Structure formats: structure tokens, C-alpha cells
Structure 1
Amino acid sequence: MPHTYRRVLAVSAATTVALIGLPASPAAADSDQCTYPGKKYEGRPWSLQRVQLDELWAQSRGKGVRVAVIDTGVDIKNPQLKDAVDVGSGKNFMDKDLKDDNGNKLERGKEDGTTDTVGHGTKVAGIIAARPTTGTGFVGLAPDATIIPLQQNDADGNGTAVTLARAINHAVDEEADVINISQDTADAVKPTELLQQAVDRALAKEIVIVASAGNDGLGGNVKETYPASYNGVLAVASSDRNNERAAFSQSGEFVGVAAPGVDMVSTVPGGGHCADNGTSFSAPYVAGVAALIKSKHKDWTRKQIVAQIQQTAERSIAGHDRLVGWGVVDPVRALTEDDKPIEKPVAHEGIDNAEAPTPAQLHLGETAEERNARLATYVVVGGGVLVAAIAGAAVALRDARRRTRRMSGATSEARG
């Protein structure tokens, strides 16, 4: 039976937390719906074609890094995820007493978080750490990283800010290095303080938290979403094949970076693949890059890892904007232009607001110094001319006297 998921609101004592996604794309999946299990995608998805994977993996494959996927669970029946998931660290946070409209108890899946009837969490996990296998070009960006499966939501939106906070705290206890959250609070409502406290606890433990910015960008909507808007969380928007913001992607000053989010091929429950759209699938793309950096630079802080991702992103402007943050993530640059860690991103190519050089003064009239210099020149030149004139006059007078004496001598000889 085909499964789809949708963004819905559920009545709850706590703030509802909704999955972030859009309907599947038939262009990429050869189907108008995701089916579980799905057909194997034989080619290399466009989101991976834009990356030189051999060059990337020569730097890091994510080994030793633990990534918590707080979502709808992760189905380990997909062969590409079986060896990627740490079953022992997983947990199911869904309320076991919830019932459907007919009063029937809802099935919540396994306690270890490895049941996923929605498919959302399985797709997210695959983008991060799916293992290579024959017959498909799809693979996770960090194929040696380990996934911690935390089931916290379902297709009916029964997840809340409280259960999300519990899942984050469990991820901290299980020593996660990166946490991926492809969810946000309904209608951008600021949730319970318990969620803020859980986020702050994880950040204090130097865990990188990556969260989807949201899909309410159509019509130019600009609003904060949670947990993406919390300080210290890396909020991820979606980009398309042209490295531009996807039309649905949420905008706002809280957006830290963008990543591919259109026609995103990934793993589905039971095996095979499917394509989907949304910032839900942009966030794990960035979480995968964070895992690669953490594996290569084990002593880097979370701030340095986030700054590295932002600094090396592809940009259309020098600095930050509300559409794609610091730009579209570039995995290879993030792993190769890493000579030393930075604490925060700066305008591209070192452009900053430095002071302009002082222009040379323009004098419209003669200064006193220039006038004195001119007069001194006149005096020197004039003095030289006067000396020359006097010398010339003296010579002329001498010559005239000599001629007079010669003429007088000649006259005396003639008389004698």
C-alpha cells in the first residue's frame, strides 16, 4: 500500500511539532507517490552529481561520528541502512496510549525507533549515511557515519515540543555528535521552554544541531520557525538545481545556509528509493557535511564546524541574505578549504567594511608654501640675471677702453 505524509496539526496539550515535506515528485521517482518498498534508483541523483564524491571521501567519510535522526523512525529493513543504524541507542518517544478516531489503540512501532510507517525519517537517514550498494548511484554523504534512530512523530502530527525535547535529551545521553531535526512547530508558534532547554543542553555539549527552516515560503512568507530559529541551531533552507532558493523554502534572517531540497532521492522503508521535496531533506544534506567535518577535525567546536559550512558555501552575494543564508553548501570546499578553524563566517573573499583611503587634497588656489617657493625662485633667477648683466657690462667697458687706447697710439705714430 502506498504511503505519503503530509503536514498536519494535531490537538495536544503541548505545542504540535509537524513534519516538513511536500508531495513526492513524479519526475524523479517515476511515480506519483512513494511506495514502500520502492523501486531501486539506478542513476546518481542530481544532488550528488554536483559533488566530486571521490575528492570528498578522500578527506572524510564520517567514520566515528554519531548522528541522531529525530523523526518518524528509521527502517533498517532497507539494506543501505541496516549497517548504518545503532539499534541499541535508538528509542521510540511516541505516546503508547494514543487512539484513533474509532478508539482503537494506535500502533507505535518498536521501542528502539527502527519502525517507520511514514518513510520520512528513513529518507532523512539515507541522505546522511546510506551505505553504498550495487545497482544504485544513491549513497549518503557520510557513508561511514552512524545513525541514532529516534522516533518522535508520525503522519498524523502526534509529535509535540515535549516529545521533541525528550528526544534531544536522549541524543545527548547517547553521545550524539550531530542532531538532525526535520520538523518545526505548527504555525511557527514558540514552543514550551522545555524545548529551548533541551537545545541549550545539547549545544553546551558541543553537539551540532541542524534543523529545517520550513516550507512556508510560497507567497513571500517570512517568519521564524522552531527549533530552527533558536540561537546556535543551523537552520537550513532548500535550493534547486540552479543553486537558487526553492519556491517553497522558508525565508528569514535565521536561515544559516541552503542545500538541495528538490527531487531528493533517498532510501524508503523496506528497500528501494523514492524522491521527495522539502527542507526536511535539505537539513540532512548539511548534517552529513557536518559529520564529515567532525570526523576529520575531531577537536573542532560546534561553532567552528557551522562556520566552516557557511564560509565555504556558494554565494550570489558577498555575505548573508534571508533567502539562502550564507549560500548553498559546498561539501568539497567545506572539507578542503579547512587549513584552520574559524569562529564565524565573514563576507566572501575577505570583503568587509574597512575604511576607504583618504583622498589627496585638491587646492584650488596657491598655498603660502607654494607662494614662498615661487618668490624664492624668482629671487634666485633674478639675482643670476643681474650678476650676468653686471659682468657683461664690465666686459663691454673694458673692451671699449682698450679700443680707445689703441686708437690714441695709432694717431701719435702718424704725427711723428
Structure 2
Amino acid sequence: MKQQIKERPWALQRIVFDRLWQSTKGRDADGRAVRVAVIDTGVDRANPQLTDAVETKSGRDFLGKGDGTDPRAPKDGTYDPVGHGTKVAGIIAARPRAGTGFVGLAPEATVIPLRQNDEKGTGNVGTLTAAIEAAVAAGADIINISQDTTQPVPADSRLAQAVREARRKNIVVVASAGNDGVDGRLKKTYPASYPGVLAVASSDRNNERAAFSQRGDFIGVAAPGVDMVSTVPKGGQCVDNGTSFSAPYVAGIAALLRAKHRDWKEYQIVAQIEQTAERSVNGRDSFVGWGVVDPVRALTEDDHPLDHASADDGPPRAAPPDPVTPVDGETPQDRRERYATYGVGAGGVAVAVIVGVAVVRRDLRSRAAASATPAAPAAGQVNE
């Protein structure tokens, strides 16, 4: 039997939902649902919290016969034996359900499932590009990409061109920053570091960068990425870690902003999320970008659009009190060491996608079973 987590997850305890949803839960003034493309390992709509959220008409599976062996697998992107994409989709748009405190940030938004990857690394630059192009053709408002590579993918690549076209069509592109940050080195990941993409790092319960979260000057914001609750295939929920689950947290906020402000440009939605983030410095840094996202501030301090985020004039904004009880007796050093294990956990299942000459690793294993994040990308793979 699938586990259903009764309590409100810590990453949602900070949100006053009456304020967050006072204008919208993911539908605009005309009743149209914001459409969020989830480019991932598929989205299993058999989970009751996702059944009404997933649109099969625009869904696509770019991996051939499902898992490569089963010709009965549907071609609408709803086949997800890995579970990664189903978790991502739940954080964005899971519907409320009796018996659980978990719900998506935009529970009236629509998810477009675009399956282009699996645990075998079947996806490649062609399938990833095709998925982005399909999202544009389907009329997506937001695109969430929870995968990355540290190997350079140049500006004239098919992938970069697809991202530029999405932005030209006024689509907000959100991407995870990556989980190779334990070594502390600054390095770019792709597609997160392409211009205009909102790159999302992971934060912990103390609004600090999670140890596994990639550092870099391209980071836009951080969002909760430790002990994240979300939906799993067939039903129920699990707990997992990684920037893969921080990105959809931000995509959910972007979906609410798009529903409320249909006239805003994609870069204005990005700027709003960055400008209203909780900061520890008056500006941007390589750990959490402009700060840790504040969903309520993003949706309530929005009287006019911004073209870009800017440094504050006064002292840094204080982070909101954390209502979650910390681990008993845990010191800051203990916490750093605990989170560091998320970046070096062994035995986890990884999703790989060939982009350029790199293998993209993704965090897939349920935290309920064991914490694990992907290994560093391997070079030497040829894409096309």
C-alpha cells in the first residue's frame, strides 16, 4: 500500500495559503488554467492528486516504446516507472486530498507531461530539444526542466535555440541548478545557465544553501529542496531531496503569477520571483542567487511589473521564523554534515540524458528509502 503523509510538509508550513491563493490557485480571470510543461521521466496520472491535473492530449513520450520493451506503454507522457517526473509534477499542481497535508503550490494549474528521459539515460539532446519544442507548440505558459549537465552546451546548439524560442513565445523557463555542489566549486550547468532561464538552487529549513546544491553566478533563486514531500506513481507520497524538487516549487509560484498577470512578460515574472525572495545580503550571491523564494510576497507585493531584480537599499530582509522544530541537539556543523550526505549518497538510481557530450545525472531515489543524489556527469558520450 502506498504511503500517504498526513502532516503538512515543512516547505509548505511557512506559507499562509489564504494569502497565497487570495487571487488565484492557477486559473486566470477568464477561468483558463495555466499550463506547465514538465519535461522529465513522465507523469503518472494514476496518483489521485494528479488525475485531474494532467492533460493527456498534449502529452508526449519521446522514448519510443515506453521503457524500450513494452509497446503497451501510452504515448501521452503518463508512463513513469521511475517516479521522478511524478514528484516534480506534484510539487507544482497536486490537488488537495483528504488525509494528507501535501498539496501543490498551484493546485488548479494544468500539467503537460513530456517524457524524454529515464533511469537508463535514454534521452539525448534531440529528445530534450523536441520536448521543449513540443511544450511551445502545446501552448505552455511555464516549462520546468529538472535536469542538468556541467558540460558546456554552446549558445548555437539546438538546445539553446529551443530555450530562446520558448522565451520568445513568452514562456517562463525554470531549471534546476544541479546537485554537484558538495565540492563548493563554482561551475555552470545547462540549461539552467542559459540567459533568461530561472536557475533554482536548493535551500534547507534554515534558508541556507543545501550542501549538495550547485553554486554559480547564474543562480537566480533558491527554494526548499531538502526532505521534500511529493506524489509518486499509482498513489501516495514519498520524501526526496535535490534541486529537481526546488525547481518545481518555483515553477508553481510562476504559474500563480502567470494566472494573476497574463499581461506580464516572462522576464517580469522571473524578476518578481527574484525581487521578493528572502535575502541574507543586499544583492545576488552564488549560493542562493537573489535569495530564498517567498511565495506569498511574490503574489502580494506585485502592484507593478519589474524588468529585472535589483539590490535593496536598506538592511537585508530577515528570513521568516522557521516553524519546524530542528533536529534535537543538532549544531550548525552537524546540519552541514547531514546535508552533505545528500550529495555523496551511494547506491541511488540516476537518470541520465545525453546533452552535447555529457551525461546528465538526476536525483531519483525516494528519501523514504534512502537519501541519494546523482554522481558527477561523465564525459565521452556522443549525442548525435
Q: Shorter-normalised TM-score: what interval?
A: 0.7 to 0.9
In 1, Cα distance between equivalents of 2:314 and 2:79: 48
User: Which has more helix, going by share of residues?
Assistant: 1
Q: How high is the TM-score relative to the length of structure 2? A: 0.78
Question: Does 2:35 correspond to 1:61?
Answer: no
Count of residue correspondences: 310
In structure 2, which of residues 132, 151, 154 is the aligned counterpart of residue 168 of structure 1? Answer: 132
The yes-or-no answer on 1:290 pairing with 2:254 is yes
- The amino acid across from 1:295 in the alignment is A
Residue in structure 2 matching 1:112, options 67, 76, 98: 76
Give the aligned partner of residue 243 of structure 1. Answer: 207
Please report how far the alpha carbon of residue 219 of structure 1 lies from its aligned counterpart in structure 2 after TM superposition: 1.5
Tell whether 2:146 aligns with 1:177.
no
Q: Distance in 1 between matches of 2:135 and 2:183?
A: 36
CA distance in 2, matches of 1:346, 1:134: 42
Query: Does 2:222 match 1:255?
Result: no
Corresponding residue to 1:327 among 281, 291, 304: 291
How far apart in 2 are the matches of 1:326 and 1:176?
26
Q: How much does 1:95 deviate?
A: 3.7
* SS in structure 2 of the partner of residue 290 of structure 1: helix
Listed as ranges, the gaps of 5+ residues in structure 1 are 1-36, 100-104, 352-416
Partner SS, residue 225 of structure 1: coil
Of 279, 284, 291, which residue of structure 1 is paired with 2:243?
279
Q: Is contact 2:66-2:73 (8 Å) kept?
A: no
Q: 1:286: how far off?
A: 0.1
Distance 1:350 1:286 in 2: 26
Residue 9 of structure 2 is aligned to residue 45 of structure 1: yes
Matching residue's letter, 2:20: L
CA distance in structure 2 between the aligned counterparts of 1:219 and 1:106, rounded to whole angstroms: 40
Partners of 1:147 and 1:58 in 2: CA distance:
22
SS at match of 1:281: helix
Q: Does the 8 Å CA contact 1:180/1:211 hold for their aligned counterparts? A: yes
The answer to whether the 8 A contact 1:59-1:336 is kept is: no
The residue that corresponds to 1:78 in the other structure is 47
SS state at 1:255 partner: coil
Amino acid at match of 2:221: V
> Is this contact kept in 2: 1:94–1:108, CA < 8 A?
no
Q: Tell me by how many angstroms 1:49 deviates.
A: 0.3
8 Å Cα contact 1:236/1:283 also seen in 2:
yes
Aligned to 1:159: 123
The CA RMSD measured in Å over matched residues stands at 1.8
Residue 82 of structure 1 aligns with an amino acid whose one-letter code is T
SS at match of 1:304: helix
Aligned to 2:98: 134
Kindly provide the CA deviation profile for residues 41-97 of structure 1, in whole angstroms up to 9, marking residues without a partner as x. Answer: 101000000111111011321112000000000001000000001111100011449
Bigger radius of gyration? 1
Identity value in percent: 65
Report the alpha carbon displacement of residue 221 of structure 1 after superposing the two structures with TM: 2.2
Q: Give the match for residue 200 of structure 1.
A: 164
